[in-house]
Amino acid sequence: MKKNHRKIILAVGLAFIGIWSCKAPEGAAGVKRNNLPEKYAEPLQDTLNTANIDWENYFNDPYLIALIDTALLNNQELNILAQEIAVSNNEIKARKGEYLPFLNIGTGGELDKVGKYTRYGVLEKSHEIDSGEEFPEPFSDLFLTANASWEIDIWKKLRNAKKSAVLNYLASIEGRNFMKTKLVAEVANSYYELVALDNQLKNIQQNIQIQQKALSMVKLQKQSAQVNELAVKKFEAELFKNKSKRFLIHQQITETENRINYLLGRYPKPIERFSKPIDSIGQYELTTGIPAQLLENRPDVRKAVLELKAAKIDVKVARANFYPSLGINARFGLNAFNAEHILQTPESMIYSLAGDLVSPLINRAAIKSAYRSANAKQIQAIYNYEQTLLKAFIEVYNQWSNIENLQNSYSLQAKQVEKLTESIVISSDLFKSARADYMEVLMTQRDALEAKNELIETKKNLLNAEINMYQALGGGW
């Protein structure tokens, strides 16, 4: 009867623990999801996506390709992210080890002297071992044991923790891929900025040569009393102004070269680059594909998806903490009070096996807080995913519009430069024949120089917009 009572009490206790443990707080309310549009605006309708082209095939400049290759190999930020990936990989192994049995082997000993007239002293004196040998005094205790412990993963808490670690590991890889796309774009943009500065420097040098010829002509006309000293001073001032601009451009070239060197993870050195006019660089062919392809190609979107999946699993892990945990502990080894007896089996053999079922009962505030935090992080991951997706879509839309407007602006600016270049010759001829004053010549030369520099700047911005579009579509990793 007593045994039956014990079984009933044990069953009731286990049932109470189970019911109480299952009373986990409710999860957070669902979050409204934004749907990605099925297509871009009308000018962007196609199914091909430039992002599928590898960066080595996308760029056609061997100097630029070599720079990007070096940056991907030596950039410190990428190398730092590589170590973070290694940390995430080790986290997976640690999580996996948590749901496998733990086995420890150990040896040790202790020495104990009890009083003769104490309880334990009397017990020792009243017992002898089989050989008639009395217990040693002081008493020594030697052991050599193997201990095993194993938490049975009933609710998949430990296995889900490992899955979450795997997803975070994959997310860290996508984060590194996203950094690669940014690095490729940043190196390419800086490279074309360097080429544009070279072109602007050459443009100023050509303009200085024109102004030097004009200054010589004005000096001759002053000698013949056709112009006064004021005209000579104006031309000299304009010439000094353009000569001083060369040093500013040289400084910009130095800073841009060193920006590229920094991205390449090396100390300052000259950058080999394209030496022809920037307008001879052809445009890249871009196809946007459909918005849904951003989910496949953009590393930051892929990272947000993986982090969202990991956050969802973390909620399950946090909820499982409310349920009972079942643990098994086992011990096997040898134990004796004397080294001579420790290997005498089975007399010195010891073993034990125990199981425990534990569930939080009172003061579960910490577990509830962890569960609510996991829910909040899941909602945060949802918003982060939606924000990343919205940002990706808008970036593609903006860059395409930027490319279209820059193309239209470039074609008009090219015509402006053509007309102003012709005006320089016309104004010089008119000045020689005294049909135009020196200010018209100066203003024409100044306008032509500014227009050429603006044309170079627009071409650089157009190349940068195409590179940024390639990145926005998810290419470059």
The predicted pLDDT at position 305 comes to 94
State the pTM of this model. 0.82
Q: Are strands 102-112 and 325-336 parallel, antiparallel or unpaired?
A: unpaired
SS in 3 state form for the chain? CHHHHHHHHHHHHHHHHHHHHCCCCCCCCCCCCCCCCCCCCHHHCCCCEHHHCCHHHHCCCHHHHHHHHHHHHHCHHHHHHHHHHHHHHHHHHHHHHHCCCEEEEEEEEEEECCCCCCHHHHHHHCCECCCCCECCCCEEEEEEEEEEEEEECCCCHHHHHHHHHHHHHHHHHHHHHHHHHHHHHHHHHHHHHHHHHHHHHHHHHHHHHHHHHHHHHHHHHHHCCCCCHHHHHHHHHHHHHHHHHHHHHHHHHHHHHHHHHHHCCCCCCCCCCCCCCHHHCCCCCCCECCHHHHHHHCHHHHHHHHHHHHHHHHHHHHHHCCCCEEEEEEEEEEEECCCCCCCCCCCCEEEEEEEEEECCCCCCHHHHHHHHHHHHHHHHHHHHHHHHHHHHHHHHHHHHHHHHHHHHHHHHHHHHHHHHHHHHHHHHHHHHCCCCCHHHHHHHHHHHHHHHHHHHHHHHHHHHHHHHHHHHCCCCC
> What local confidence, expressed as pLDDT, does residue 12 receive?
43
Q: CA-to-CA distance for 231 and 434, rounded, in angstroms?
A: 13
Tokens of 391: 């940002």
- Are the beta carbons of 379 and 438 closer than 8 angstroms? no
Which of 143, 15, 37, 165 has its CA nearest to residue 97? 165
- Confidence at residue 97, expressed as pLDDT on a 0 to 100 scale: 82
Handedness of CA 31, 35, 314, 91 (dihedral sign): negative
pLDDT digits (tens, 9 = 90+) for 295-330: 889 999 999 999 999 999 999 999 998 888 888 999
Read off the pLDDT of each residue in 66-72 and give the average, rounded to a whole number: 96
The pLDDT assigned to 19 comes to 47
Which domains, from first to last, does the chain contain? 25-99+156-324+366-472 (1.20.1600.10), 102-152+326-358 (2.20.200.10)
428-448: pLDDT as tens digits: 888 777 777 878 888 888 898
Per the model's pLDDT, the better-predicted residue between 25 and 208 turns out to be 208
Percentage of residues in the chain having pLDDT higher than 90: 43
The 10s digit of each residue's pLDDT in 155-202 is 888 899 999 999 999 999 999 999 999 999 999 999 999 999 999 999
Q: Which pair of structure tokens corresponds to residue 297? A: 């190609």
**Is residue 16 very low, low, confident or very high in pLDDT (cuts 50, 70, 90)?**
very low
Angle at 60 between CA 260 and CA 473, to 5 degrees: 80
- For Cα atoms 76, 305, 68, give the angle at the middle one, nearest 5 degrees: 30
In this prediction, residue 26 carries a pLDDT of 54
> Hey, what long-range contacts does 380-387 have (CB within 8 A, 24 or more apart)?
380/311, 381/304, 381/307, 381/308, 381/310, 381/311, 381/312, 382/31, 382/33, 382/308, 383/31, 384/304, 384/307, 384/308, 385/301, 385/304, 385/305, 385/307, 385/308, 386/33, 386/34
Query: Rounded to the nearest 5°, which phi and psi values hold at 46?
Result: -160, 175
Q: What is the pLDDT of residue 9?
A: 47
**Residue 381 identity:** A
Q: What does the alpha-carbon distance between residue 155 and residue 354 come to, in Å, rounded to a whole number?
A: 20
Does residue 17 register a pLDDT over 60?
no
Q: Please give the structure tokens belonging to residue 393.
A: 């879509």
* pLDDT, mean over the chain: 84
Q: Residues of 67-81 as b/e, b for ≥16 C-beta within 10 angstroms?
A: bbebbbeebeebeeb
What's the pLDDT at 1? 46
Q: Which residues contact 446 (CB under 8 A, 6 or more apart)?
A: 238
Query: So what's the pLDDT on residue 30?
Result: 45
| Residue 434 structure tokens | 């005294």
* pLDDT value at residue 45: 54
Cα separation, 94 vs 100, in Å, equals 10
* Token output for 317: 């892990």
Return the pLDDT at 365.
86
Tell whether the model's pLDDT for residue 405 goes beyond 90. yes
| Beta-sheet strand order (sheet of 325-336) | 102-112, 139-152, 325-336, 349-358
Q: Average the pLDDT over each of 18-27, 291-300, 361-370, 455-464 and give the range with the smallest value.
A: 18-27
pLDDT class for 467, splitting at 50, 70, 90? very high
Estimate to the nearest angstrom the gap between the alpha carbon of 337 and the chain centroid. 60
The 10s digit of each residue's pLDDT in 116-144 is 777 766 666 666 544 455 556 677 778 88
| Token output for 2 | 């007593």
* Mean pLDDT confidence for 87-91: 89
Confidence of residue 216 (pLDDT cuts 50, 70, 90): confident
What pLDDT band is residue 418 in, cutting at 50, 70 and 90? very high
Percent of the chain with pLDDT over 70: 87
Question: Residue 274 in contact with residue 281, Cβ under 8 Å?
Answer: yes
Q: How far apart are CA 376 and CA 130, in angstroms?
A: 67
Residues in the chain: 477
- Rounded Cα gap, residues 56 and 34, in angstroms: 35
385 vs 391: CA distance, rounded Å: 10
At 20, the pLDDT band (50, 70, 90 cuts) reads very low
Q: How confident is the model at residue 36, as a pLDDT?
A: 76
Tell whether the model's pLDDT for residue 53 goes beyond 60: yes
* Average pLDDT of the residues in 451-473: 94
Per-residue confidence (pLDDT) for residue 42, from 0 to 100 = 59
Read off the pLDDT of residues 228-258 as tens digits, 9 standing for 90 and up. Answer: 888 888 889 989 999 999 999 999 999 999 9
What are the structure tokens assigned to 454, written together? 């603006």
